[in-house]
A and B are shown apart, each in its own frame.
Chain A
């Protein structure tokens, strides 16, 4: 029991990731307002991207940009650059998804005059 708690407390980034992920999922599923659902979706995606970046970190390492062009390049001095590249791409995908979703929500608002999912579903009947 103690070692379980220890393992959790030694990894605060995992705790933060799990909290954000579940919170965002809860918002996306339970709230009725369409824009709040989008915010929940955004939080879920951000939490996964955050998780990606945090496990790329190393103790005592700096950003993955070469400090000097000559001499030996020590991998231990730089954080892992691959998750950073994946993060950039995932952020762009997130922005694109958000853009399309907000456009669809704007269309729904123009058609049904409401942003509440329960009301819209009632109008659809």
Chain B
């Protein structure tokens, strides 16, 4: 019975999405409770999954009963289980936040919005658990279509940028498929474990190298690694405020997770000289992304856009950790991935609350918040500490392990990039806080076009509170979580 948990985890949002059109036909108001119920059920199941995996080892789920490598299998090991908990918890909190924002349209039209979110969750579950290269492609494409639909729902400007995202992401997926076809032509199998056995002798062959390059380019477009990040700031800025936290915290991180899986579990990086070159490309691009993203965030005027570029910078940081080839760096990058998901969700929730309750959209409006928004400023401070990397928040421990890993492999340029990115992040957060607190940036009275509301409602306070508690507890429990991640990566023998 326990072995069916991965399938159940995938089926919960899928069944909710399928039955929603029929339910909403009769009772239009049931759309949101059903989505929330599905997300909470996913949380509970994800926690149960982690407990089962920690107790009895990884679960290999064979669909249709056919044994691998003939059949398609899913693998739920420590890494995937921790990722699933992060995905489902974040989805629940973002859904609670999203439901409190007034969305235009009747209840029937909202049902479409919830169907897209549920399908996105099931697609992300598929990518996290997949142990077959083609499965990753299919679920990534489903996630792309759902994401572009969610961005396009905002209408107006968002349609143009949703179209741009769709074209770029589809080209990325096509590149990934091309890479998979090269690997298949070279080895004859698509199963990750089987490939891991067949690839070590073939890593010098041109087909395999070209295949891996194409797969990397495809996934880099999906995870918005600089310089392929062009779609991200526009898409996340113009998406609906209710939907941005969900998108920004989950979509790119899962694509990066897929790349880490392929790099370490399929190609077996970190063991020989050929893969060391590939890893070097990875962390160099990561360094470029970390510094470039933070620098571009510094010059932004729109708050949501600034946070989006912050996300680009963090993807770069995670890539630095993942490109180092040792266990500390890898565990650190995975820990920072989970941290970054929580931080991005918090940032976009705060940005959405700022827009809807205080009318704050650009850096110039920030003075409105000065004496009126204690919870929001408190949340901003905690997230800021975590983004910059100050203990005891989770961001510090993630960066700590990444830097430790970089020192272990002697890559001092990577350490330098992390430090420069941290300083730039500190600079743009200082910019935020200075504009909120310093009195010479204009008074709060005449700056606000909207009559500033009272303190934000209880639901939003609960959301922000849960996310900030999450950031702090990730930092305080970092030891235990990193230990689970180190155990999960110990089979790689790095």
Contacts and interface: CB of A to CB of B under 8 A. Distances in A.
B163 A34 contact: yes
Contacts of B166: 97, 100-101, 104
Interface in A23-45: 25, 28, 34, 37-38, 41, 44-45
Contacts of B148: 100, 104
B184 A83 contact: yes
A73 B137 CA distance: 32
B171 A41 contact: yes
Interface in B119-174: 134, 137-138, 141, 144-145, 148-149, 152, 155-157, 159-160, 162-163, 166-167, 170-171, 173-174
Contacts of A34: 163
A111 B159 contact: yes
B34 to A, nearest CB: 24
A51 B184 CA distance: 12
Main secondary structure of the interface of B (DSSP, over half): helix
A11 B185 CA distance: 14
Contacts of B145: 96-97, 100
Contacts of A48: 174, 177-178, 181
Given A97-B141, A104-B162, A107-B155, A86 B134 contact: yes
A62 interface: no
Contacts of A89: 134, 138
A108 B170 contact: no
Contacts of A108: 159-160, 163
B171 A107 contact: no
Contacts of B170: 41, 45, 97, 101
Q: Sort chain B's interface into a size bin.
A: 20 to 34
Nearest to A52: B181
A124 B157 CA distance: 7
A51 B181 contact: yes
A104 to B, nearest CB: 5
A41 B171 CA distance: 7
B163 A101 contact: yes
B152 A111 contact: no
Contacts of A55: 181, 185
Q: Sort chain A's interface into a size bin.
A: 20 to 34
> Most chain-A Cβ atoms within 10 A of its Cβ — which of B149, B152, B177, B190?
B177
B141 A93 contact: yes
A28 B178 contact: no
B91 to A, nearest CB: 22
Nearest to A44: B174
Nearest to A80: B188
Contacts of A82: 184, 190
Contacts of B138: 89, 93
Contacts of A124: 157, 160
A57 interface: no
A21 B181 CA distance: 14
A115 to B, nearest CB: 11
Contacts of B190: 82
> Most chain-B Cβ atoms within 10 A of its Cβ — which of A38, A55, A90, A111?
A90
Nearest to A49: B177
A93 B166 CA distance: 13
Contacts of A38: 167
Contact of A120 (B134, B155, B160): B160
Contacts of A51: 178, 181
Contacts of A83: 181, 184
Contacts of B174: 41, 44-45, 48
A112 B159 CA distance: 10
A80 B341 CA distance: 42
A77 interface: no
Contacts of A37: 167
Interface in A68-125: 82-83, 86, 89-90, 93, 96-97, 100-101, 104-105, 107-108, 111-112, 120-121, 124
A82 B194 CA distance: 15
A82 B188 CA distance: 10
13 contacts: A21-B178, A25-B171, A28-B171, A38-B167, A55-B181, A93-B141, A96-B141, A101-B170, A104-B162, A107-B152, A108-B159, A108-B163, A111-B159
Given A41-B170, A82-B184, A101-B170, 5 more contacts: A41-B171, A44-B174, A82-B190, A100-B145, A105-B163
9 closest Cβ contacts across the A-B interface? A104-B163, A107-B159, A93-B141, A108-B159, A48-B178, A97-B170, A45-B174, A52-B181, A100-B145
Interface of B: 134, 137-138, 141, 144-145, 148-149, 152, 155-157, 159-160, 162-163, 166-167, 170-171, 173-174, 177-178, 181, 184-185, 190
Interface of A: 21, 25, 28, 34, 37-38, 41, 44-45, 48, 51-52, 55, 82-83, 86, 89-90, 93, 96-97, 100-101, 104-105, 107-108, 111-112, 120-121, 124
